[in-house]
């Protein structure tokens, strides 16, 4: 055997030993963990090349960024943009001052369709507080921002990092998924321990980034586009070299599973010469919005049905029945509203659609 062949055999044997050692958990952990700096740099490079263009990324105005963050809570980007909610809001209330000066009815009407109306009320309250206590200028220190109405840890970090490039970490659903997979973390993300781990790791990664604004945008977008729910697109992932996940589709782990509860809502349509009878809501979820009045419980039989539809909200699947009933106002917040004024009243989307459908009817009833 020649010396050249002996050298080749020796090299192959050495490589096999290295590969065998690398299969051990400790060796794989060490090989893949990399450094926070390398991960942050890879994220920045990827985002600079592939980051999506959104209106709130073209500005450093904290108010414009805050509006986007509030709208995107519990709502998809496509809904906020494609249906024009963000644009309409910014055209109607371009500044904190203009929002502070607005009445609640116009605020709720402009928000209509996005649901979770507390978000719009928080924005309205925040604008008033900012104008009254901060001269209309959005504060830049964490403690003051957290004291504003409706501002939690995530929203605070988002506005301070995106608007002012401050090193404030953020953790939302997308980022939680990325971090859980990156570190192959089995701790449930909806537990106290899981949340603590996520925020600590987000903080460490951010501390290695050159631009907090770029880093937070990058890791969030990674979760939206590549490290998505279900099976991620690992081949295109910019941080796959350091990812420890062995079964990424099974992460993140959650303790609580959402169970949908069926709910039935029965309301009625009463149209007189004075207009349509409506009732203003007083509950926490839809305070100030108008709806068709609730059908009284003590009726001997259900009146004819004009419309039926279903909609979802949080953990509820609601079936909405609209009955034909000439009932008198049952609530002190009820009144007849002229048809010409209906478009100006804030109304939950399911009721707006139901009322529109009923008004378009001729004279037919559905079976109960």
- Residue 308's nearest CA partner among 360, 364, 354, 260 is 354
Tell me the C-alpha distance between 25 and 20, whole Å: 11
Q: How many CB atoms lie within 10 A of CB 65?
A: 23
List 30, 69, 168, 265, catalytic entry: 69
Q: How would you classify the pairing of strands 316-324 and 271-272?
A: unpaired
Tell me the C-alpha distance between 168 and 159, whole Å: 9
Tell me the C-alpha distance between 148 and 143, whole Å: 9
Query: 151: which residues sit within 8 A by CB, 6+ positions away?
Result: 122, 126, 145
**Cis geometry, peptide bond prior to residue 252 (ω within 30 degrees of 0):** yes
Q: What DSSP state is assigned to residue 88?
A: H
CA of residue 267 relative to chain centroid, distance: 30
Residue 60: both structure tokens together: 């450093």
In the sheet that holds 261-269, the strands lie side by side as 261-269, 316-324, 305-313
Q: What DSSP state is assigned to residue 341?
A: G
Coil, strand or helix at 8:
helix
Tell me the C-alpha distance between 222 and 76, whole Å: 15
Q: Assign 3-state DSSP to the chain and report helix, strand, coil percentages, each to 5.
A: 50, 10, 40
Distances (CA, A) of 188 to 45, 153, 245, 263: 30, 19, 15, 29
Tell me the C-alpha distance between 96 and 137, whole Å: 8
Tell me the C-alpha distance between 168 and 113, whole Å: 31
Residue 211: both structure tokens together: 């631009």
Say whether 69 is catalytic: yes
Question: Measured in Å, how far apart are the chain's first and last C-alpha atoms?
Answer: 92
Residues tagged active-site: 69
């Amino acid at each position: 055997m020649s010396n050249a062949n002996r050298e080749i055999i020796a090299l192959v044997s050495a490589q096999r030993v290295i590969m065998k050692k690398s299969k051990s958990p400790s060796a794989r952990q060490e090989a893949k963990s990399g450094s926070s700096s390398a991960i942050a740099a890879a994220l920045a490079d990827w985002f600079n090349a592939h980051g999506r263009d959104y209106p709130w990324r073209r500005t450093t105005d904290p108010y414009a960024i805050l509006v986007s963050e509030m709208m995107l809570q519990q709502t998809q980007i496509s809904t906020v943009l494609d249906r024009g909610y963000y644009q309409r809001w910014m055209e109607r209330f371009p500044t904190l001052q203009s929002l502070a000066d607005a009445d609640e009815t116009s605020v709720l009407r402009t928000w209509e369709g996005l649901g979770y109306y507390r978000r719009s009320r928080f924005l309205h309250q925040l604008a008033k507080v900012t104008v009254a206590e901060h001269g209309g200028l959005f504060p830049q220190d964490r403690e003051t921002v957290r004291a504003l109405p409706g501002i939690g840890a995530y929203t605070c970090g988002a506005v301070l990092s995106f608007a002012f490039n401050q090193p404030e970490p953020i953790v939302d659903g997308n980022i939680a998924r990325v971090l859980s997979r990156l570190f192959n973390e089995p701790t449930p993300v909806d537990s106290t321990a899981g949340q603590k781990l996520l925020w600590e790791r987000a903080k460490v990664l951010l501390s290695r980034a050159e631009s907090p604004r770029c880093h937070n945008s990058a890791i969030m977008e990674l979760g939206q586009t590549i490290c998505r729910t279900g099976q991620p697109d690992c081949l295109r992932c910019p941080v796959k070299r350091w990812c420890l996940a062995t079964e990424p589709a099974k992460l993140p782990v959650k303790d609580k599973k959402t169970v949908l509860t069926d709910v039935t809502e029965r309301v009625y349509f009463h149209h007189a010469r004075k207009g349509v009878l409506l009732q203003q809501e007083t509950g926490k979820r839809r305070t100030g919005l108008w709806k068709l009045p609730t059908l009284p419980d003590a009726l001997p039989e259900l009146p004819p049905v004009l419309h039926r539809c279903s909609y979802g909200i949080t953990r509820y699947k609601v079936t909405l029945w609209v009955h034909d009933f000439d009932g008198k106002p049952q609530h002190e917040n009820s009144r007849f509203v002229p048809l010409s004024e209906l478009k100006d009243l804030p109304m939950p989307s399911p009721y707006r659609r139901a009322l529109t459908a009923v008004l378009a009817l001729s004279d037919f009833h559905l079976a109960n």
